[in-house]
Amino acid sequence: MAVFVLDKRKKPLMPCSEKRARILLERGRARVHRMVPFTIRLVDRLQDDSVLQPVRVAAAPGSKTTGLALVRDAETVDAITGKVTRTVVVLMLLELQHRGHAIRDALTQRRAFRRRRRGKLRYRPARFDNRTKPAGWLAPSLRHRVDAAIAWIARLRRLAPVSALSTMLHRFDTQLLQNPEISGIEYQQGELQGYEVREYLLEKWGRKCVYCDAEHTPLTIDHIHPKSAGGSDRVSNLTLACFPCNQRKSNQDVRAFLAHDQKRLARIESQRKAPLRDAAAVNSSRWALLQRLEETGLDVEVGSGGGTKWNRKRFSVPKAHCLDAACTGHVDAIQDRQQPVLSIKATGRGRYKRTQLTKYGFPRGYVTRQKRHFGFQTGDMVRAVVTRGKKAGTYVGRVVIRASGSFSINAASGLVSGIHHRFFSLIQRADGYGYSLTKIASTQGDAGRGRSVAAALSLPGMNARVSRANG
């Protein structure tokens, strides 16, 4: 994983390796500017004295997770043919986990409370006609997805010399752009036939066989109700099956094939009728994200979902949101993709509601008005060095504070509670996100478990003094 580098005036320079960053810190030529993502600031160099290469941020928007990739474009020109080959060198992989479902649930609960107050207490006239929604309005849970992605792209632009952007926009008709005269069955099928449908089915059915739960094996598209019996080609009638199960099922109806397993049959029937909630969320926010990216003034490259998957298949890249971002757009080759992924979970900066409620809506506790106690607030990244007792040891992670001074910490080993505040030292102030490192395995859909950022990497300069710019 690359380390971000700033000059002494906090202007972005080209990222460097961890080994190079460690050497700069040991020789006193750099200071720690930020812990996550790890950033150093040089004390003896300016941006004007450095050579910058073209760096691009690629995004693959999703309903629950948006993949981000910081890449360097290396273009080579063939001296004989003049053909330009674009090689994508991956510098950093990130995955941003959204909290749109939490926002939706909070607004639903607030709406229920307001409805109860209006129905049980004094009469209040309806106000839904008093306000009009502006053009381009998005629901708060959808706007969060766009705002969070734009915020992290802006942060990467402050830490690296980004000169271009890429995003994945589904239903982008590249065939017609490349060959305006294409028509008939050639246009209907084309080079990427089936990629969009297969990708949707893989996401919907969890990338495993629905009949035997086999994973990491070639999957085929199967008709739940066979076409010979009047079944259609709609996605609601399509599922995924491994080759042996597909052969055994043949042209049987799913009710006859799973007559001995009614529980699995009921699960398949309920899942195939599930609403396209995630697809609708992406379709509603993708144009807003593209518009926000174009407002940055940088060159924006747009790729399709089918083209992204085609690139992954060509280069044998496993499925991951961040690698989807790296394969977005025009890619002739990809390098340095095997590296840890910085998983970023949107946690928010707090809430207005000060009353803890039971599942029946009755108050069970109250949150203090003061947000910070003993110099810490919930969400700070801290290190706890406990010297005695049953919980003796060193823990690194996000802290959960209490007014009593007995804190909890989300460390790599899990939640540890009941640690006195005097054992804690601050690493980085809360910024509304939680961080962990994951590893993408070579097999499709198999990823490593999340770990604490500091514990997983032993970041260079972990024991160095954090500069005041960290805040």
Average pLDDT of the segment spanning 420-441: 89
Helices and strands: H and E segment counts in the chain: 13, 23
Least confident of 150-154, 216-220, 323-327, 349-353: 349-353
Contact 388, 417 (CB under 8 A): no
The answer to whether 92 touches 69, Cβ cutoff 8 Å, is: yes
Instruction: Mark out the alpha helices in 124-217 (DSSP H runs).
Output: 140-159, 174-178, 184-189, 195-204
Q: How far apart are CA 355 and CA 362, in angstroms?
A: 9
Burial of 144 (0-12, 13-18, 19+ CB in 10 A): buried
Q: With a cut of 90, say whether residue 122 has pLDDT above it.
A: no
Least confident segment among 118-122, 144-148, 214-218, 250-254: 118-122
**pLDDT reported for residue 77:** 83
Decide if pLDDT at 442 tops 60: no
Residue 324 has pLDDT above 90, yes or no: yes
State both tokens at 452.
């604490």
Q: Is the pLDDT of residue 75 over 90?
A: no
Q: Which of 78-82, 96-100, 377-381 has the lowest mean pLDDT?
A: 78-82
271 contacts 239 by C-beta, under 8 angstroms:
no
For 354-430, which CATH class?
mainly beta
**Cα 272 off chain centre by:** 25
Range from 68-72, 324-328, 441-445, 455-459 carrying the lowest mean pLDDT: 455-459
Cis peptide before 460 (omega within 30 of 0): no
Which of 310, 305, 311 has its CA nearest to residue 334? 311
Confidence (pLDDT) at 459? 43
pLDDT digits (tens, 9 = 90+) for 129-174: 787 888 888 999 999 999 999 999 999 999 999 999 999 885 534 4
Identity of the highest mean pLDDT range in 26-35, 269-278, 310-319: 26-35
Q: Between 79 and 429, whose confidence is greater?
A: 429
pLDDT of residue 59: 95
Domain 195-277 listed as CATH 1.10.30: yes
Q: Check residue 180 and give its pLDDT.
A: 53
The percentage of the chain sitting over the pLDDT mark of 70, rounded to a whole number, equals 87
Question: Is pLDDT at 247 greater than 50 in this prediction?
Answer: yes
Residues of the chain within CATH 2.30.30 domain(s) are: 354-430
Q: Where does the pLDDT of residue 445 fall: very low under 50, low under 70, confident under 90, or very high at 90 and above?
A: very low
- Confidence (pLDDT) at 234: 77
Q: Which of 321, 312, 328, 316 is nearest to 343 (CA)?
A: 321
Q: Please say whether the beta carbons of 415 and 424 come within 8 A.
A: no
Give the pLDDT score at 446. Answer: 43
The four Cα atoms 117, 121, 123, 129 give a dihedral, to 10 degrees, of 0
Mean pLDDT of the region 204-233:
87
**Which pLDDT belongs to residue 447?**
43
pLDDT value, residue 198: 76
For CATH 1.10.30, the residue range(s) in the chain are: 195-277
Whether this model's pTM surpasses 0.85:
no
H/E segment holding residue 307: helix 305-315
Angle between helices 277-294 and 140-159 (to 10 degrees): 40
